[in-house]
A and B are shown apart, each in its own frame.
Chain A
Amino acid sequence: MSAVAVEPRESVAVEENYLSDHTVKSWLLTTDHKRIGILYLISVTLFFLVGGAAASMMRFELMTPKGDLLGSPDVYNRLFTTHGVVMIFFFLVPSIPAVLGNFLIPLMIGARDLAFPILNLMSWYVYIIGGSIAIYILMFGGVDTGWTFYTPFSTMYSNTMVVHAAIAVFITGFSSILTGLNFIVTIHTMRAPGMSWFRLPLFVWAHYATSLIMVLGTPVLAIAVALIAVERGFGIGIFNPNLGGDPVLFQHLFWFYSHPAVYIMILPGMGVISEIIPCFARRPIFGYRFIAASSLAIAVIGFVVWGHHMFVSGQSMYAGMVFSMLSFLVAVPSAIKVFNWTSTMYKGSIRFDTPMLYALGFIGLFTIGGLTGMMLSTLAVDIHVHDTYFVVAHFHYIMVGGAVMAYLGGIHFWWPKITGRMYSELLGKLSALTVFIGFNLTFFPQFVLGYLGMPRRYFEYASEFQVLNVMSTAGASILAAGYALPLFYLLLSLRQPPTAGKNPWGATGLEWQVDSPPTTHNFDFTPRIDRAPYAYSPVAIEGFDGYSDHGSH
């Protein structure tokens, strides 16, 4: 064995780590990628609560067929717009990349920091400025266009704060561009000696693909919303057909970013799952190169499927057919990942710890979301279920059942590394189970509702849909409890001393060989890598003795 054992460095662990400096100034001016990850963790959690509150109010309104609780459809329109804008631009897009990606990528590739630490801090401030405008809109009027800002409603008819919302989205886009740019440069230039491309953890590959989309897609969204703001602000016609403009052009520009944005949300989640599954199955990942390449394939193909959002928008039938076929094609790399994760578990010594429960939930829910996506990319079926709850259920299976499950799985997996603390395993398992049950109860009935013809974005509905809607609302309450639980026990774990040790899960990644929490400069020595990742073996599990530090035997 050519590997050299790591010397224990207990003295360093006791003395200081990246959390040691407690002043507010040290946090607000930090350029440490780990601290910026924590800043993002706190901010995206706050936005998640805002978006979740809006969703809860919508679900309560939908308990009864008549619009009674909220009083007017205008309030309901503002709520679903708030829910969409906040959850997508301020929670899902930054969640895994900006929190876990920021924290872990330098650790995983053996670097002291990202390539541009000041730019990294700047991205957080840009995010906060955009987020503040979003909160301002929320308090002083709201927006009622839906998160898609379709013209001509957004430019000519809506009486709400569309220009503010466009500015908020425009600004926040730059935080995402800066993060993506930083990741790509870091992965190219900062890898430790021996960390070749095919020794990179799949989490890093997934973030590389995500960053490509962020860098190439976000500017197009920026220009689309800028044109909306100019048209509205100056009262001139850019997307107005009477003045030579084309409202469908807006949809093209919007979805050119916003469909790949779905992959910005799900690809990092796939990266998280690729880390968790081999660790808790005690097996090397199956088909490493295929999983890595499929991330890139998703990023590339994902750029040419946007037209499937416009099958009924007056797009040419032939364009529709091409987009339909390309949309089927993008399912192939996703399926490759699912099959490879499943094969990884075959004959493994599976342990059902909290992160693994979340990961297993992800695989099941993502598969349902993906397969219903296939139904939607079929032209004829899409015309039947377009703009119904079927679509709502489909993308929630991807974004909530997929991305949020993966995010929570990742938070539970790396919590001991981030904070140095273990949480209550019992409560952790309970939360994973509650989220899984609550999620399915909330969104499965929506597939049925949509197939039966209930349109989305209405605050009233025909009374025969009530039973399924009540089920969905009941599920949402369970889901909310499932989300509240980790907030409670994870924060509680911070009261204990940091005794998790370097490697509580017996994982192989480079990040598990440094202290928990890591020191400010991550590594005392530049690591040198001499083998492929995921060198798990079922034998190693016999020597596994619970949650103690045994990284150096």
Chain B
Amino acid sequence: MDTATMAHTNVAEHASDASPLLLHQFDDVHQQSESSILGMWLFLATEVMFFGGLLTAFAVYRLLNPREIALASQNLNVPLGCVNTMVLLVSSLTMALAVRASQLGRRKDVVRMLLLTMIFGTMFLVVKGFEWRADYHENLIPWINFEVPHHQAEEVHELGLVPAKMELFFIMYFFMTGLHALHLIIGIVMLAIMAHLVHRNWFSGSGAVQIEVAGLYWHFIDIVWVFLYPLLYLISAH
């Protein structure tokens, strides 16, 4: 008697609300969607720590070398960075509209909004690509062709700044924006798959849970940029 702590609930009881897309380990759809959403939040927690380590490193270096980092940052294209920030913020809006549409069961709107989100994401990458290309022509790429820009050479010399510390800024800049772009590419691919599946009516309903989980990831990428933009571009803007 002491070891018997179980009572029975027949599995068949749960069969009534089983949908064809209910995975075998879950009892009902609610448990399944709760797990998916919590899983994505935890994944985002790991991402916060991942970028957090980088941002900490950047903060330390900015404190250690304030003048070089500020000077190097002036070589970034603030208007283009600003445009990109707005593009990503708008993509978050269309993503939120896609989530809303999927909750209302409007499949066509879901697909439309997902496509718009992907277009904004791609626009961001294109602008970023032009920025990187300009950096290459201005000899700002560490390891490949970095040298202090001519218009700053005098200032660097006068103040006795260390060019290598300006290069350090660009190492962090390319590492962080590169990592962010990689996340964005993964996000675009993910949304493409989602749009395809919603279009094919693969999900039960309009994939409300799946779109919500994808949306969490997308908003996270946007938030990372919201931190990166001021930290990298606006250092010397008072």
Contacts and interface: CB of A to CB of B under 8 A. Distances in A.
Given A3-B7, A243-B164, A535 B2 contact: yes
B10 interface: yes
Given A223-B54, A237-B171, A238-B57, 8 more contacts: A3-B5, A4-B8, A116-B39, A181-B42, A181-B46, A219-B49, A246-B64, A512-B3
Nearest to A218: B46
Given A185-B39, A234-B143, A506 B5 contact: no
B85 interface: no
Contacts of B4: 3-6, 513, 551-552
Interface string B43-69: 101110110111011001100110010
- What are the 5 A-B residue pairs with the smallest beta carbon separation, nearest first? A244-B165, A219-B50, A113-B25, A223-B53, A243-B164
A216 B46 contact: yes
B167 A236 contact: yes
A471 interface: no
A219 B47 contact: yes
Given A4-B7, A243-B168, A540-B2, A249 B38 contact: no
A3 B1 contact: yes
Interface string A527-545: 1111100010100100000
B171 A236 contact: yes
Interface string B19-32: 00001111100010
A152 interface: no
Given A4-B6, A242-B164, A215 B61 contact: no
B35 A185 contact: yes
26 contacts: A112-B25, A114-B25, A115-B25, A115-B35, A189-B35, A190-B25, A190-B35, A215-B45, A220-B49, A223-B57, A230-B171, A230-B175, A236-B171, A238-B57, A243-B164, A243-B165, A243-B167, A243-B168, A245-B168, A246-B64, A507-B3, A513-B6, A527-B6, A527-B7, A530-B7, A551-B4
B142 A234 contact: yes
The majority secondary structure among interface residues of chain B is helix
B106 interface: no
B34 interface: yes
Contacts of B171: 230, 236-238
B46 A185 contact: no
A53 B48 CA distance: 38
Nearest to B163: A243
B227 to A, nearest CB: 15
Interface of A: 1, 3-6, 111-117, 177, 181, 184-186, 188-190, 193, 215-220, 222-224, 227, 230, 234-238, 242-246, 249, 253, 256, 503, 506-508, 510, 512-513, 521, 524-531, 535, 537, 540, 551-553
A189 B41 CA distance: 14
B7 A249 contact: no
A441 B226 CA distance: 57
A553 B167 CA distance: 75
A186 B142 CA distance: 45
Contacts of A117: 23, 25
Contacts of B57: 223, 227, 238, 249, 253
B143 A236 contact: yes
B11 interface: yes
A242 B156 CA distance: 16
A513 B6 CA distance: 8
Interface string B89-110: 0000000000000000000000
A301 B159 CA distance: 44
B183 interface: no
B38 A219 contact: no
A510 B6 CA distance: 8
Nearest to B162: A244
Contacts of B6: 3-4, 6, 510, 513, 525, 527-529
Contacts of B1: 1, 3, 5, 553
Contact of B7 (A216, A217, A528): A528
Contacts of A215: 42, 45-46
Contacts of A189: 31, 34-35, 38
B14 interface: yes
B176 to A, nearest CB: 10
